[in-house]
Amino acid sequence: MSENNRVAKLAQRPVGAVKRDDFLIEDEPIQDPGPGEFRVKLAYISLDPAMRGWMSDGRSYVPPVELGAVMRAIAVGHVEQSNHPGFAVGDAVTGLFGVQQYAISDGAGVAKVNPEQAPLERWVGGLGMPGTTAYFGLLDVGQPKAGETVLVSAASGAVGSIVGQIAKIKGCRAVGIAGGAEKCRYIVDELGFDAAVDYKAGNLSADLKSACPDGVDIYFENVGGEITDAVLAQMNPFGRIPVCGLISIYNATELPPGPKNLRSILVNRLRMQGFIVFDFIKRYGEAVDALGTWHGEGKLKMREDVREGGVDAYPDVLNDLYTGRNFGKLVLKV
Amino acid sequence: MSENNRVAKLAQRPVGAVKRDDFLIEDEPIQDPGPGEFRVKLAYISLDPAMRGWMSDGRSYVPPVELGAVMRAIAVGHVEQSNHPGFAVGDAVTGLFGVQQYAISDGAGVAKVNPEQAPLERWVGGLGMPGTTAYFGLLDVGQPKAGETVLVSAASGAVGSIVGQIAKIKGCRAVGIAGGAEKCRYIVDELGFDAAVDYKAGNLSADLKSACPDGVDIYFENVGGEITDAVLAQMNPFGRIPVCGLISIYNATELPPGPKNLRSILVNRLRMQGFIVFDFIKRYGEAVDALGTWHGEGKLKMREDVREGGVDAYPDVLNDLYTGRNFGKLVLKV
């Protein structure tokens, strides 16, 4: 066992894209757990779009990461020392453990996972926060009905890929927007989406129209920007737009213009509604059970993009998320 | 009785603001009602923001007015000849009678009104479609709770003025956005709003902040454009935005950029929802009863801006609506 804990601390609030200098990455002595605490050796750190917001000090749904504090991150690992009656050495656990090699926890917000049911990294992906986000966002906010068309952006990503597959499970037509032919092939051929639209191909509006011949009943919003505008023009009356993420603007130093097609919200009586998965925390069990069952039945396929380099690689790997250079749920191997 | 019916027909689809040449205004012989029909002599024609949309052939919630057809309009008047068992000569009635002096009707969509309860022009204003729009938009879509802050734009207008007063009836703080000191004084001093923000004063964001010290829980959207962006920055978590109108863009030949602050929808979990009063048609009676009761109790004040000039003045008077040169519900005296 290494005697040090490699840790990434937020050194300054990033302007635009995240830079290496925005973090202080250093070694600290490994701590021993106090009474009622346990120590987790992290295996995989989850890299999520929301991280960029957590670094900023604008008003948001959670306080920003304080300067000098360990960067906030969901991770999965094993308990290796414990003074907590509920967590034993060897338990596989997920929680907000931060961007570091070892975390001390009192168990708050920590869940045990079953590595025999799915590989460890999947418990921060399709069976973790991205999966529950897709579950509540589509089912509770979107309220899909069989036969409707569900369109999702960032469709090959951690959340989008699950949204489309749950839409299929619920009897909907699932259409995904993704960047590039490979991701588009993946969501149709491997995940079973009915159609894919490559937003990089340059014919977004026309391609959306042919992929959604009956219009769009639910648009699951992950990206914002020009895609939103193009989709608004295709929405059916009484359509729903769960707003899960706006990854296209997270790094913006100057906010780009918003969607022009707001008239569609009015004349089509659309409901555009933001949500945060943490609001559904009391029902996580229900979501994880459903996701696990569908996964076990082969109805939910998941893909992780596991990166090497440990804590030191965090800033660079995170940037790949905002430029779409990941393919599947992005995780950092510790 | 004049032997002719002066009528305004849509001659071409307007580009930008409405022009006199977009209409053919001419005399036609007065028609006699057929079996089961009656003839109405119009007294007041309602001029509503939605009219601009009805003239365009874009996809909307109702088909556009056909070229050559009488311009669609809600109006109020008296039955002067009847072959319909439900409507007698002398009855005061409202309905989609069009921009003309005399209308033939079979009674579909026509409601009787009581001129002793309120002056005739008020039945196409606060006790008519604008009033029911305010009622359903605020109460059903907005779902106000006592103590919340309700902000409404175009607050001295036909719908906005009722929204703020119903908000007060429901125990909310009512704040209105209006153009100019006179309209702002009116909504506070005469209608009982708690505060007013003059969007022409040049300090929109700061003025909104001081008028809404506890943030905004419901923003009743009538205008769109820059105001929306400024308001999004003041919304409280779980706020609601009923989208009733977007008058700032109805005449646009090139759509202006949309709101940049969409991130507020996400992080504050806002619900932005379009609605059309026609969707609530089965509950009109409930709304008209409530509005009439509050009006009778002196809790709902209403103001009409009655214009002379008859059918010929329609295009010019209508333009005043989009530039804010009306003060109160705009109606044309026939």
- Beta carbons of A260 and B258 less than 8 Å apart: yes
Is A284 within the bounds of a domain?
Answer: no
Partner-chain residue, chosen from A243, A262, A267, that has the shortest CB–CB distance to B258: A262
- Beta carbons of B243 and A259 less than 8 Å apart: no
Contact yes or no for B193/B175 (Cβ under 8 A): yes
Domain ends where: B278, B293, B316? B278
How many angstroms separate the CA atoms of B77 and B89, rounded?
A: 11
- Beta carbons of B263 and A246 less than 8 Å apart: yes
**pLDDT per position as a tens digit, B153-180:** 999 999 999 999 999 999 999 999 999 9
Contact yes or no for B243/B231 (Cβ under 8 A): no
- What is the pLDDT at residue B7? 98
Mean pLDDT throughout B258-282? 94
Tell me: do A225 and A116 sit in the same domain: no
Is B15 within the bounds of a domain?
Answer: yes
Angstroms from A222 CA to nearest CA on chain B: 10
Q: Phi first, then psi: what are they for B52, rounded to 5°?
A: -60, -40
How many angstroms separate the CA atoms of B15 and B31, rounded?
A: 33
DSSP, collapsed to helix, strand or coil, labels residue B151 as strand
How many angstroms separate the CA atoms of B32 and B34, rounded?
A: 6
Which of B8, B12, B22 lies closest to B103 in space, CA to CA? B8
How many angstroms separate the CA atoms of B164 and B192, rounded?
A: 8
- For A60, the token pair is 């948001």
Q: At what angle do helices A160-169 and A129-136 cross, to 10 degrees?
A: 50
Angstroms from B9 CA to nearest CA on chain A: 24
pTM score > 0.80 for this model? Answer: yes
Is B295 within the bounds of a domain?
Answer: no
Contact yes or no for A243/A159 (Cβ under 8 A): no
Q: At what angle do helices B158-169 and B284-296 cross, to 10 degrees?
A: 70
Which CATH number does the domain housing residue B258 bear? 3.40.50.720
Q: Which residues of B touch A270 (CB under 8 A)?
A: 273-274
Q: Phi first, then psi: what are they for A263, rounded to 5°?
A: -60, -25
Q: Which residue has the tokens 């003060």?
A: B327
Instruction: Give DSSP secondary structure letters for A143-180.
Output: ---TT-EEEEESTTSTTHHHHHHHHHHTT-EEEEEESS
Is A231 within the bounds of a domain?
Answer: yes
- Beta carbons of B258 and A259 less than 8 Å apart: yes
Tell me: do A115 and A135 sit in the same domain: no
DSSP, collapsed to helix, strand or coil, labels residue B103 as strand
DSSP, collapsed to helix, strand or coil, labels residue B153 as strand
**Is residue B227 scored above 90 in pLDDT?**
yes
**Tens-level pLDDT at each residue, chain A (334 residues):** 458 999 999 999 999 999 999 999 999 999 999 999 999 999 999 999 999 999 998 878 889 999 999 999 999 999 999 999 999 999 999 999 999 999 999 999 999 999 999 999 999 999 999 999 999 999 999 999 999 999 999 999 999 999 999 999 999 999 999 999 999 999 999 999 999 999 999 999 999 999 999 999 999 999 999 999 999 999 999 999 999 999 888 888 888 888 899 999 999 999 999 999 999 999 999 999 999 999 999 999 999 999 999 999 999 999 999 998 999 999 999 9
Contact yes or no for A333/A314 (Cβ under 8 A): no
Q: Which residues of A touch B229 (CB under 8 A)?
A: 258
**Residue A189: burial class (beta carbons within 10 Å; 0-12, 13-18, 19+):** exposed
List b or e across B262-272, with b for residues whose CB sees 16 or more CB atoms inside 10 angstroms: bbbbbbbbbbb
**DSSP H or E run through B183:** helix B181-185
Is B257 within the bounds of a domain?
Answer: yes
Is A297 within the bounds of a domain?
Answer: no
3-state secondary structure A86-142: CCCCCCEEEECCCCECEEEECCCCCEECCCCCCCHHHHHCCCCHHHHHHHHHHHHHH
Mean pLDDT throughout B272-298? 95
**Residue of A133, A216, A243, A264 to mutate, testing the B interface (most B Cβ within 10 Å of its Cβ):** A243
Tell me: do A158 and A226 sit in the same domain: yes
- For A32, the token pair is 């021993």
Q: Say what the alpha-carbon torsion angle B307, B310, B315, B317 is, to the nearest 10 degrees.
A: 0
Q: Phi first, then psi: what are they for A51, rounded to 5°?
A: -55, -35
How many angstroms separate the CA atoms of A276 and A305, rounded?
A: 24
Angstroms from B142 CA to nearest CA on chain A: 12
Contact yes or no for A72/A98 (Cβ under 8 A): yes
**Is residue B2 scored above 80 in pLDDT?**
no
Which of A326, A332, A322 lies closest to A17 in space, CA to CA? A322
Angstroms from B245 CA to nearest CA on chain A: 7
Tell me: do A185 and A227 sit in the same domain: yes
- DSSP class of A256: P
DSSP, collapsed to helix, strand or coil, labels residue B115 as coil
Tell me: do A78 and A103 sit in the same domain: yes
How many angstroms separate the CA atoms of B6 and B176, rounded?
A: 38
Is B284 within the bounds of a domain?
Answer: no
- Beta carbons of A265 and B272 less than 8 Å apart: yes
Angstroms from B53 CA to nearest CA on chain A: 10
Radius of gyration of chain A measured on its C-alpha atoms: 20
- Which domain range does residue B214 map to? 129-278
Angstroms from A265 CA to nearest CA on chain B: 5
Contact yes or no for B161/B187 (Cβ under 8 A): yes
How many angstroms separate the CA atoms of B223 and B246, rounded?
A: 4
Which of A320, A334, A332 lies closest to A157 in space, CA to CA? A320
Partner-chain residue, chosen from B246, B266, B269, that has the shortest CB–CB distance to A263: B246
Handedness of CA A258, A261, A263, A267 (dihedral sign): negative
How many angstroms separate the CA atoms of A253 and A257, rounded?
A: 13
Handedness of CA A212, A305, A46, A287 (dihedral sign): positive
Strands A304-307 and B304-307: unpaired
Q: Which residues of A touch B269 (CB under 8 A)?
A: 61, 273-276, 279
* Sheet arrangement for strand B216-220: A195-198, A173-178, A149-153, A216-220, A235-243, A271-274, B271-274, B235-243, B216-220, B149-153, B173-178, B195-198
How many angstroms separate the CA atoms of B80 and B87, rounded?
A: 10
Which CATH number does the domain housing residue B47 bear? 3.90.180.10
Contact yes or no for A9/A24 (Cβ under 8 A): yes
Q: Which residues of B touch A274 (CB under 8 A)?
A: 264-271
Angstroms from A36 CA to nearest CA on chain B: 34
Strands B216-220 and B235-243: parallel
How many angstroms separate the CA atoms of B110 and B98, rounded?
A: 12
Partner-chain residue, chosen from A249, A263, A270, that has the shortest CB–CB distance to B263: A249
Angstroms from A329 CA to nearest CA on chain B: 21
Question: Is the backbone of residue A72 left (phi > 0), alpha (psi -120 to 50) or beta?
Answer: beta
Q: Which residue has the tokens 């196409």?
A: B124
Find residue B220's DSSP bridge partners.
B152
**DSSP H or E run through B239:** strand B235-243
- Beta carbons of A273 and B268 less than 8 Å apart: no
Domain count across chain B:
2
Partner-chain residue, chosen from B61, B246, B266, that has the shortest CB–CB distance to A243: B266
Q: Which residues of B touch A279 (CB under 8 A)?
A: 269
**DSSP H or E run through A232:** helix A226-232
Q: In A, what residues contact B, Cβ < 8 A? A: 53, 59-61, 224, 228-229, 237, 243-246, 249, 255-276, 279
Residues 6 or more apart in contact with residue A282 via CB below 8 angstroms:
none
Partner-chain residue, chosen from A266, A271, A272, that has the shortest CB–CB distance to B246: A266
- Beta carbons of B276 and A267 less than 8 Å apart: yes
Tell me: do B48 and B120 sit in the same domain: yes
Angstroms from A296 CA to nearest CA on chain B: 32
How many angstroms separate the CA atoms of B153 and B165, rounded?
A: 13
Find residue B105's DSSP bridge partners.
B38
Tell me: do A120 and A138 sit in the same domain: no
Tell me: do A79 and A151 sit in the same domain: no
Tell me: do B68 and B152 sit in the same domain: no
- For residue A248, what is the nearest residue in chain B, using CA coordinates? B263
Q: Which residues of A touch B272 (CB under 8 A)?
A: 265, 271-273
Is B54 within the bounds of a domain?
Answer: yes
Find residue B149's DSSP bridge partners.
B173
Tell me: do A115 and A200 sit in the same domain: no
Q: Say what the alpha-carbon torsion angle B9, B13, B14, B15 is, to the nearest 10 degrees.
A: -170
Tell me: do A65 and A154 sit in the same domain: no
Q: Phi first, then psi: what are they for A232, rounded to 5°?
A: -55, -35
Mean pLDDT throughout B211-215? 98
Tell me: do A43 and A16 sit in the same domain: yes
- Beta carbons of B61 and A237 less than 8 Å apart: yes
**pLDDT per position as a tens digit, B127-148:** 999 999 999 999 999 999 999 9
How many angstroms separate the CA atoms of B164 and B170, rounded?
A: 10
How many angstroms separate the CA atoms of B83 and B86, rounded?
A: 9
- B171-176: long-range pairs with CB below 8 Å, 24+: B171/B146, B171/B147, B172/B144, B172/B145, B172/B146, B172/B147, B172/B148, B172/B217, B172/B218, B173/B147, B173/B148, B173/B149, B173/B212, B173/B214, B174/B150, B175/B149, B175/B150, B175/B151, B175/B211, B175/B212, B175/B216, B176/B151, B176/B152
**Residue of A238, A240, A272 to mutate, testing the B interface (most B Cβ within 10 Å of its Cβ):** A272
**Is residue B258 scored above 90 in pLDDT?**
no
**In Å, how far from its chain's centre is CA B19?**
21
**Residue of A262, A268, A273, A281 to mutate, testing the B interface (most B Cβ within 10 Å of its Cβ):** A262
